[in-house]
Amino acid sequence: MAGRTAARGLTQYGVAKAGLSHLTRYLATDLNPKVRVNGIAVGSTATSALETVLVMPEIRDTMIANTPLRFIGEPEDIALGVLYLSSPAARYVTGKIIEIDGGTESSTLDIPIPDF
């Protein structure tokens, strides 16, 4: 998600994610028709990467409130997307970024950084 939206304090992360999204599209173009290349843009997911913030009720609650489906995703939610993309059901899908993010359109968390 950080590759398609802007959020304060996440410049380097967002630019790297955007680069990966574009790389996905280029690889899909270069490797077709024998290889399909797709990516998954993951929203807030309850993994060890978010463990330190999810234990703080006020931050967790803000993230949930800012997610249209009103819950934090689980790794299984992402795995189901991977399963779809690797199945025959996705045989006509290439060069796409599938968003599995609970419907979020912007960052679910504001990072307090000082103004320049």
Q: Which residues are catalytic?
A: 13
In the chain, the largest separation of any two C-alpha atoms, in whole Å, equals 50
Q: Report the alpha-carbon angle 13-15-17, nearest 5.
A: 70
Facing residues of 98 across strands? Answer: 40
Whether omega for the bond prior to residue 75 falls within 30 degrees of 0, making it cis, is: no
Q: Report the alpha-carbon angle 12-14-16, nearest 5.
A: 70
